[in-house]
């Protein structure tokens, strides 16, 4: 009986102590335990209000009741109901010692006081008369600007450019690269290409040292003059092997002679020739039902390299490219992505990479590595600019270039632009044009009301 009484006394004492201590403890409100991050909310709100330049516009129209009222409505709609705010716009002026002087222009608030628990964030906006202009340096050789030719031939077909047309790729190339060239010429048909191969300019432009970008993918446009019945048939058609590899050899010779840089944007270069005007027979197609194309296969690339290397023509159908799979941009090209504002993926899939052995076989040197050399299944360069070494006595010159992107379909035209820009590295000159009082500082102060 005594033990029962003692147990009851202990329970009573412990319960009394618990209630006594509980009465002295004040638990925090939910808002104190997990407070709203007001400064971050303020900055996020300002950024959201300016996502379409609305905040910047209204900050310079404080005398416009409609614009100023719309800003307040938008701000109120952006914040929770228990948030009070004060938004103030300051003019930013520079003083003689170089520091900034802030003077209030206008403000609005939804509360008489924000209390002592408020937070604020600031956001700098610029007026529409502030401009930042980039003037690119014109790509040149030996101090003379060079020409960019883009093959946009309407009488051709494309292959391995899945999802695109040669015309759409040509326009994309023009947009990305034409600002860096004094003269950009769209080669609109194979007759114009024939004129160029005969050494005649199309618009009075300089022919030597030009960059020529073929937008037809694995196919290359061929003028009818180089057909088996054309006036230049001996330079275009190999009657012994029934092949237009001879035409690809001529392209290589012309590339070396005029010091061109020939650009293949995707896949296996020179795998087909294309002309919808004379390649029209029912049995002439690329093997996949695309008419106006003739399959040259691997002999086309070998013939072009023979011409570029200033070697004699010999029909060679050996397949030379490799399929290393996932490949990565070189450190140089990655570092220049920000500079030129081009952001292709840093890794790509390559199934038509050129072997490193061609440098010795055709007397070439790699001038620019767009992608790192890969050793998967052999040594390959998935994307690189090659220059032909031409010796005159003890002097070594570069004469003719070849930029081959051995990527799997679909072509990323940004890689083409990045490779050319990495190869020539033109400078981008920036200039900022602004006027006094062209910047304003917007400060948003937030507080909370209500219980937790």
What's the CA gap between 320 and 304, in Å, rounded? 13
**pLDDT single digits (tens) 223-268:** 999 999 999 999 999 999 999 999 999 999 999 999 999 999 999 9
What's the CA gap between 434 and 61, in Å, rounded? 18
**Amino acid 127: pLDDT:** 81
**pLDDT single digits (tens) 202-218:** 999 999 999 999 999 99
Helix (H, G, I), strand (E, B) or coil at 82: coil
**Amino acid 392: pLDDT:** 73
Look-up: residue for tokens 């003028």?
Answer: 223
Which residues neighbour 230 within 8 Å (Cβ) at sequence distance 6 or greater?
223, 224, 236, 237
User: Higher model confidence: residue 286 or residue 407?
Assistant: 407
User: Higher model confidence: residue 396 or residue 92?
Assistant: 92
What string of DSSP letters covers 232-245?
THHHH-BTTTTBTH
What's the CA gap between 148 and 136, in Å, rounded? 15
Mean pLDDT of 15-37: 56
**pLDDT single digits (tens) 344-356:** 999 999 999 999 9
Which pLDDT band holds residue 452 (cuts at 50, 70, 90)? very low
Mean pLDDT of 424-435: 79
User: Which DSSP category does 290 fall into?
Assistant: -
Question: What value, to the nearest 5°, has the Cα angle with vertex 253 and ends 251 and 255?
Answer: 65
**Amino acid 446: pLDDT:** 94
Backbone phi, psi, residue 419, to 5°: -60, -45
User: Which DSSP category does 432 fall into?
Assistant: E
Is residue 50 predicted with pLDDT exceeding 80? yes
What's the CA gap between 86 and 327, in Å, rounded? 53
**Amino acid 71: pLDDT:** 95
Average pLDDT, the chain: 89
**Amino acid 112: pLDDT:** 86
Which pLDDT band holds residue 436 (cuts at 50, 70, 90)? low
91-106 burial, b at 16+ Cβ within 10 Å, e below that, comes to bbeeeeeeeeeeeebb
Is residue 34 predicted with pLDDT exceeding 50? no
- CB-based contact 325:350 (threshold 8 Å): yes
Is residue 96 predicted with pLDDT exceeding 70? no
Q: What residues are paired with 405 via a beta bridge? A: 383
Tell me where in the chain the CATH 3.30.1140 domain(s) lie.
35-128+436-448
**Amino acid 429: pLDDT:** 87
Is residue 118 predicted with pLDDT exceeding 50? yes
Mean pLDDT of 400-424: 95
Which pLDDT band holds residue 122 (cuts at 50, 70, 90)? very high
**Amino acid 282: pLDDT:** 72
What CATH number has the domain spanning 35-128+436-448?
3.30.1140
**Amino acid 449: pLDDT:** 83
Provide, rounded to the nearest whole percent, the portion of the chain with pLDDT above 70: 88
Is residue 417 predicted with pLDDT exceeding 80? yes
Is residue 9 predicted with pLDDT exceeding 90? no
Provide, rounded to the nearest whole percent, the portion of the chain with pLDDT above 90: 73
User: Higher model confidence: residue 393 or residue 75?
Assistant: 75
**Amino acid 432: pLDDT:** 60
Token pair in block for residue 79:
């914040």
Which pLDDT band holds residue 26 (cuts at 50, 70, 90)? low
Mean pLDDT of 302-325: 97
**pLDDT single digits (tens) 259-303:** 999 999 999 999 999 999 999 887 787 888 888 999 999 999 999
**pLDDT single digits (tens) 149-189:** 999 999 999 999 998 999 999 999 999 999 999 999 999 99
What's the CA gap between 43 and 63, in Å, rounded? 24
Q: Is the pTM of this model over 0.85?
A: no
Backbone phi, psi, residue 207, to 5°: -90, -45
SS3 content of the chain, % helix, strand, coil (to 5): 30, 30, 40
């Amino acid at each position: 009986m005594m033990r029962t009484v003692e147990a009851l006394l202990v329970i009573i004492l412990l319960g009394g102590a618990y209630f006594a201590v509980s009465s002295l403890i004040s638990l925090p409100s939910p808002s104190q335990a997990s407070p709203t991050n007001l400064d971050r909310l303020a900055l996020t709100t300002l950024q959201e209000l300016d996502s379409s330049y609305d905040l910047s516009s209204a900050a310079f129209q404080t005398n416009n009741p409609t614009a100023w009222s719309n800003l307040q409505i938008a701000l109120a709609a952006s914040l929770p109901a228990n948030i009070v705010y004060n938004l103030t716009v300051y003019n930013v002026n520079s003083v003689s010692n170089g520091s900034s002087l802030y003077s209030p222009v206008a403000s609005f608030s939804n509360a008489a006081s924000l209390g002592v628990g408020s937070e604020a964030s600031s956001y700098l906006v610029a007026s529409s008369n502030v401009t930042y202009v980039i003037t690119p340096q014109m790509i040149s050789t030996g101090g003379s600007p060079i020409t960019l030719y883009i093959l946009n031939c309407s009488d051709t077909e494309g292959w391995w450019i899945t999802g695109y047309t040669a015309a759409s790729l040509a326009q994309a190339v023009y947009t990305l690269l034409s600002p860096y060239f004094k003269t950009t010429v769209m080669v609109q048909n194979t007759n114009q290409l024939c004129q160029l191969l005969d050494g005649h300019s199309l618009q009075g432009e300089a022919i030597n040292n030009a960059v020529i970008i073929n937008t037809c993918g694995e196919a290359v446009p061929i003028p009818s003059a180089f057909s088996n019945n054309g006036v230049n048939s001996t330079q275009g058609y190999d009657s012994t092997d029934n092949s237009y590899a001879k035409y690809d050899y001529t392209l290589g010779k012309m590339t070396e002679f005029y010091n061109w840089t020939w650009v293949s944007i995707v896949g296996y270069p020179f795998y087909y020739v294309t002309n919808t005007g004379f390649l029209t027979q029912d049995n002439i197609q690329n093997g996949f039902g695309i008419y106006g194309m003739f399959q040259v296969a691997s002999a086309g690339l070998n013939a072009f390299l023979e011409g570029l290397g200033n070697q004699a023509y010999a029909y060679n159908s050996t397949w030379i490219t490799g399929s290393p799979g996932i490949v990565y941009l070189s450190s140089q090209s990655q570092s220049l992505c920000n500079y030129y504002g081009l952001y292709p993926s840093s890794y790509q899939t390559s199934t038509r990479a050129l072997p490193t052995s061609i440098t010795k076989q055709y007397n070439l040197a790699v001038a620019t590595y767009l992608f790192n050399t890969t050793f998967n299944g052999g040594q390959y360069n998935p994307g690189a600019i090659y220059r032909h070494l031409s010796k005159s006595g003890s002097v070594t010159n570069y004469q003719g270039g070849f930029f081959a992107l051995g990527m799997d379909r679909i072509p990323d035209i940004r890689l083409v632009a990045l490779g050319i820009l990495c190869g020539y590295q033109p400078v981008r000159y920036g200039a900022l044009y602004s006027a006094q009082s062209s910047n304003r500082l917007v400060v948003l102060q937030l507080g909370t009301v209500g219980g937790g």
